[in-house]
Amino acid sequence: MPVLLNLRTVSPFMEGVLQRTLKPRLALRHLSPRGSSSSPPTASRPPVGPRSQKLHTGGDGPEPSPSAAPDRLPFSRITRGDLHFFRKTLPGRVVTEPDLLESSNVDWLKSVRGSSEVMLRPRTTEEVSQILKYCNGRNLAVNPQGGNTGLVGGSVPVYDEVILSTALMNKILAFDGVSGVLTCQAGCVLENLSQYLEGRGYIMPLDLGAKGSCHIGGNVATNAGGLRLLRYGSLHGNVLGLEAVLADGRVLECLATLRKDNTGYDLKQLFIGSEGTLGVITAVSLCPGKPKSVNVVLLGCETFEQLLKTFQLCRCMLGEILSAYEFLDGECMKLLNTHLKLPNPIADCPFYVVMETSGSNQTHDGEKLHSFLEEALASSLVTDGTVATEESKMKALWSMRERVPEALTHEGVTYKYDVSLPVEQIYQLVSAMREHLGGRARSVVGYGHVGDGNLHLNVTAPADDPALLAAIEPFVFEWTASRQGSISAEHGLGLKKRNYIYYSKSSQAVALMAQVKAMLDPKGILNPYKTLPDRLK
Amino acid sequence: MPVLLNLRTVSPFMEGVLQRTLKPRLALRHLSPRGSSSSPPTASRPPVGPRSQKLHTGGDGPEPSPSAAPDRLPFSRITRGDLHFFRKTLPGRVVTEPDLLESSNVDWLKSVRGSSEVMLRPRTTEEVSQILKYCNGRNLAVNPQGGNTGLVGGSVPVYDEVILSTALMNKILAFDGVSGVLTCQAGCVLENLSQYLEGRGYIMPLDLGAKGSCHIGGNVATNAGGLRLLRYGSLHGNVLGLEAVLADGRVLECLATLRKDNTGYDLKQLFIGSEGTLGVITAVSLCPGKPKSVNVVLLGCETFEQLLKTFQLCRCMLGEILSAYEFLDGECMKLLNTHLKLPNPIADCPFYVVMETSGSNQTHDGEKLHSFLEEALASSLVTDGTVATEESKMKALWSMRERVPEALTHEGVTYKYDVSLPVEQIYQLVSAMREHLGGRARSVVGYGHVGDGNLHLNVTAPADDPALLAAIEPFVFEWTASRQGSISAEHGLGLKKRNYIYYSKSSQAVALMAQVKAMLDPKGILNPYKTLPDRLK
């Protein structure tokens, strides 16, 4: 147990982690640091940004919001010596210019802003290993960063963490034309991988709106769900192998390309969805899909109940070729029209479905789809619809679903929630929220992955509105938890939702997560302030 | 970190675990126990059985085989007081009669025989928790046991471990007709679950030859692969939720029924495939499949190359409806004929394929299959074949594949290997082994899951043959490792293969596994002598 025992002599922070596990309700942030070998205790600096302070402190009340950043932990501060080491290790790939750091210090939603003064851009696993070994020794906190497309403040520094960017780790390492297995570095952009595979008759088993920017390493680190999960399942099943560098620089090579391997514990699973807090993923191997015929359909329904009945019909009549069943409500469609000038290609309806089939036989798929549409129209489940089989038209229909988050950014401030629920209940939350908020919000909209029981609930306001936020939370979490739902279906917990974990996980489970964290990252340098709650119950 | 720190004061065994991690190459079995609070060190007793001693000690050489049982660890011995506690906790469900214990002390292959004197049959999670809490306090080793169908000596006691049987934990806890999600206790027999779901329009996402006996908890604990993995993927993707009791009796409730849940680390993944060494799985929830049309086909091929080309054609023309592509060689067919009187329904061939399609449209599936068969015959990839669509005939064709292991038991002694390799190489190992062994074996046969790159290599002999075994091992492991294969694709490591782990996993990975084990089961009471190697590299 060398790592764990080491902890006890290394830093006062580690005492915090230990106590966090040992003494329920004793928060890290409430510990009094008793000196550090590398840096003195420092005053706290909450994250600042266009609206982060208000969003994160939850208004003017005496109690900070659970999503607010905790105090800075007593990590070391970057010194000239550190920069010297980094520049020697990564010549020409150490960024310290404030203007170049700007976009890496703030998240896509501009809701969390860190103040990191250095970003490292390694190209190899070995370089990542050297960096982490050094940072661990120096007690420097590290924020692993992929495409920085996360929505829960998990991908940006909270304070002055060293940003470890995977942007230059963008090599495809191997592709097996027979099995289709792809092995690549963590910094490959999802869309580039998709294009690479499509040219070879395969497709990535995941697809999401941020594909043009997100990195595959970040996708795996956050267990991204996206649009194809209905058909291909989660990354826990699709990732065949993974390489990660642990906090102390050890390289864990589990980069198998086999579909089956039962030799010992499946350690790679630990890193899938751990948001960079247990190790830095440096490479992955994946098992892609191979459809030959694709159709995309936009449908309109009068009620959500009809939309669900249509889903049942769809599963029954399309079966194995159904690859996506997504929805957006009429409010979302209006936002697409208004802000992005995307016209609605069918008659206006309260609910829309974007569905996709992927199969191996165009004739059969067409016949199945035709029979399904006939039945859906005949039984009045669907009021209007359009089918696309041509690439550009399919993309246009997909954009009706994929660009909703972008349209929402034009509404002012958006409070975003990502829950999963039994499928028959997902829209009830939108209705309940509308009723609960009355006229206080600009809009309350719902869209998401019906096939996976995953709702994206978004509440917008013209500007930061602490009273509105206080009306939304914890209402949304309590509503979800009371129905055994998950308060984060696919976005993760990051900074913003870490303290809400108990709505979906038991105290035993969270305590065990803290043990896992302490085992793999005893000094807590990896993506601090994220995923795990400030206090254990 | 209470658990880990506790370790250091609890038992001399724990010092072993710590040293195992701290000091590479210092074997547990070489530690000198320095007294225990609960029992004195005891002399070692290797497992005995019809042929276990020879099989496991690898002959008359001075070095025991890596698959031989290590010395008994200094766990406590069962006392009258223990039996009193068990009988009070589980009235009428404590088995101590030697004749009733017999079948639980020996594995299906009769290759490992333990000498447990007590088997506990809990009905509830709470009872499992009480038992483990007690055993942990008393330093009593525990062997969790499901259907006892494992092939690597993982499901039986090695010495006098308390057998914790899940046989009475056989309740279906919930079934959601909309999503198809099934939640059940760990002791449900796989075939019973299949029948339950089939009556409701769904099928289990896994199927295997031992379905009539194996328990779902054991399937999950061993990450069983089986016949449907090609279509439905592994249990890491199909298990939605899981409940496990940890060594100290803590209940870890992660029994979600949601397809998506990214709130913290996905702890359930740790238990999938950990062979009962990290916790006792007490309940699971699973995501089933829903095919409406099924076809089973038996094909004959002249060469393995043609069999692989047929697989490529199949993937191309059947695509999403292909649900199994299994093979057996001509030797296996002869064994089926000879020992089980199963006649070959097609012309004799060197290789046979049992393939299955599962889809939603009988007409389309039939058309796809017809086109594929026409093409396969026209291009002479396949020399003969037969198709079944009727239930009893499909079962008959499936039995040609499923009953091969049973036929092999009539051959005398069988040395069994379960490897995964790049699909184009799987039969090369059979050929290489035949060449390597010359006339020393009675037969060298191959069968398995082509679609998953998973070969079952079996070598038979009239009786125990240490010289033959020495010729097979480590040859088979070295051959597999040199091709980046896995030395245990789906059977796990158990007792017999624990020391071969380094052929497929790095020393960093195994060291981390040992840390995980020490974290979750600090006294090492859960299924000792299994999965992890005796010595860390």
Query: How far is B308 from chain A, CA to nearest CA, in Å?
Result: 10
Cβ–Cβ under 8 Å, residues B47 and B69: yes
Residue type, A463: A
pLDDT average, residue stretch A150-173: 98
Residue of B nearest to A367 (CA): B364
Q: Which residues of chain A make contact with B508, given a CB cutoff of 8 A?
A: 250-253
Considering only the beta carbons, identify the residue of B22, B262, B532 that sits closest to A490.
B262
Q: Which residues of chain A make contact with B240, given a CB cutoff of 8 A?
A: none
Q: Number of helices and strands (H, E) in chain A?
A: 20, 16
Cα B217 from Cα A398, distance rounded (Å):
41
pLDDT given at position A5: 28
Residue A279 exposure: Cα atoms within 13 Å on the Cβ side: 29
Q: Which residues of chain A make contact with B326, given a CB cutoff of 8 A?
A: none
Q: Cβ contact (<8 Å) for B292 and A486?
A: no
Cα A278 from Cα A178, distance rounded (Å):
33
- Cα-based distances in Å from B154 to A280, B80, B107, B150: 33, 27, 9, 6
Measured over the CA atoms of residue B366, residue B369, residue B371 and residue B377, the dihedral's sign is negative
Residues in Cβ contact with A439 at an 8 Å cutoff, skipping those fewer than 6 apart: none
pLDDT given at position B195: 96
* % chain A with pLDDT above 90: 85
Q: Which residues of chain B make contact with A21, given a CB cutoff of 8 A?
A: 1-2
DSSP element (H, E) containing B446:
strand B443-449
Q: Which residues of chain A make contact with B4, given a CB cutoff of 8 A?
A: 1, 4, 515
- Residue A46: pLDDT over 60: no
Tell me how far the alpha carbon of residue A213 is from its chain's centroid.
Answer: 13
Residue of B nearest to A16 (CA): B1
Q: Cβ contact (<8 Å) for B178 and A423?
A: yes
- Residue A42: pLDDT over 70: no
Other C-beta atoms lying within 10 Å of the C-beta of residue B98:
10
- Cα-based distances in Å from B20 to B29, B43, B99, B534: 10, 21, 38, 8
pLDDT given at position A470: 95
Residue of B nearest to A265 (CA): B274
Q: Which residues of chain A make contact with B237, given a CB cutoff of 8 A?
A: 233-234, 236-238
The tens digit of pLDDT for each residue in A109-129 reads: 999 999 999 999 999 999 999
Q: Cβ contact (<8 Å) for A315 and B290?
A: yes
Residue of B nearest to A489 (CA): B261
Rounded to two decimals, the pTM is: 0.90
DSSP element (H, E) containing B355:
strand B351-359
Considering only the beta carbons, identify the residue of A3, A260, A516 that sits closest to B225.
A260
Query: How far is A263 from chain B, CA to nearest CA, in Å?
Result: 6
Query: How far is A456 from chain B, CA to nearest CA, in Å?
Result: 13
Angle between helices A2-10 and A12-22 (to 10 degrees): 120
Q: Cβ contact (<8 Å) for A509 and B229?
A: no
Residue of A nearest to B259 (CA): A452
Measure the CA angle with vertex B316, ends B310 and B321; round to 5°. 100
Considering only the beta carbons, identify the residue of A359, A489, A519 that sits closest to B260.
A489
Q: Cβ contact (<8 Å) for A264 and B367?
A: no
Q: Cβ contact (<8 Å) for A4 and B4?
A: yes
pLDDT given at position A522: 98
Residue of A nearest to B366 (CA): A364
Q: Cβ contact (<8 Å) for A420 and B4?
A: no
Residue of B nearest to A492 (CA): B262
For A353-398, give the secondary structure using H, E and C.
EEEEEEECCHHHHHHHHHHHHHHHHHCCCCCEEEEECCHHHHHHHH
Beta pairing partners, A484:
none
pLDDT category, A62, cuts 50, 70, 90? low
Other C-beta atoms lying within 10 Å of the C-beta of residue B44:
12
The tens digit of pLDDT for each residue in A211-228 reads: 999 999 999 999 999 999
- Tokens for B300? 């004959």
Query: How far is B58 from chain A, CA to nearest CA, in Å?
Result: 22
Q: Cβ contact (<8 Å) for A452 and B259?
A: yes
Cα B515 from Cα A516, distance rounded (Å):
10
Q: Which of B475, B410, B418 is nearest to B446 (CA)?
A: B418
Q: Which residues of chain B make contact with A179, given a CB cutoff of 8 A?
A: 422-423, 453
By the 10 Å C-beta count (0-12 exposed, 13-18 middle, 19+ buried), A34 is classed as: exposed
- Cα-based distances in Å from B519 to A470, B132, B143, B513: 39, 16, 19, 10
Considering only the beta carbons, identify the residue of A223, A233, A515 that sits closest to B262.
A223
Q: Which residues of chain B make contact with A486, given a CB cutoff of 8 A?
A: 256, 258, 260-263
Q: Which residues of chain B make contact with A282, given a CB cutoff of 8 A?
A: none
- Residue A369: pLDDT over 90: yes
> Which residue of A259, A277, A314, A501 to mutate against B (max B Cβ within 10 Å)?
A259
Query: How far is B18 from chain A, CA to nearest CA, in Å?
Result: 5
Residue of A nearest to B308 (CA): A178
Cα B158 from Cα B494, distance rounded (Å):
11
- In order along its 537 residues, chain B shows pLDDT tens digits of 222 223 223 333 333 333 434 333 322 322 222 333 333 333 333 333 333 333 333 344 557 889 999 999 999 999 999 999 999 999 999 999 999 999 999 999 999 999 999 999 999 999 999 999 999 999 999 999 999 999 999 999 999 999 999 999 999 999 998 888 999 999 999 999 999 999 998 999 999 999 999 999 999 999 999 999 999 999 999 999 999 999 999 999 999 999 999 999 999 999 999 999 999 999 999 989 888 899 999 999 999 999 999 999 999 999 999 999 999 999 999 999 999 999 999 999 999 999 999 999 999 999 999 999 999 999 999 999 999 999 999 999 999 999 999 999 999 999 999 999 999 999 999 999 999 999 999 999 999 999 899 999 999 999 999 999 999 999 999 999 999 999 999 999 999 999 999 999 999 999 999 999 999 999 999 999 999 999 999
pLDDT given at position B62: 53
pLDDT given at position B308: 96
pLDDT given at position B178: 82
Residue of B nearest to A321 (CA): B320
By the 10 Å C-beta count (0-12 exposed, 13-18 middle, 19+ buried), B103 is classed as: exposed
pLDDT given at position A68: 93
Cβ–Cβ under 8 Å, residues B382 and B305: no
Other C-beta atoms lying within 10 Å of the C-beta of residue B5:
16
Cα B96 from Cα B90, distance rounded (Å):
13
pLDDT given at position B19: 40
Angle between helices B2-10 and B12-22 (to 10 degrees): 120
Q: Which residues of chain A make contact with B21, given a CB cutoff of 8 A?
A: 1-2
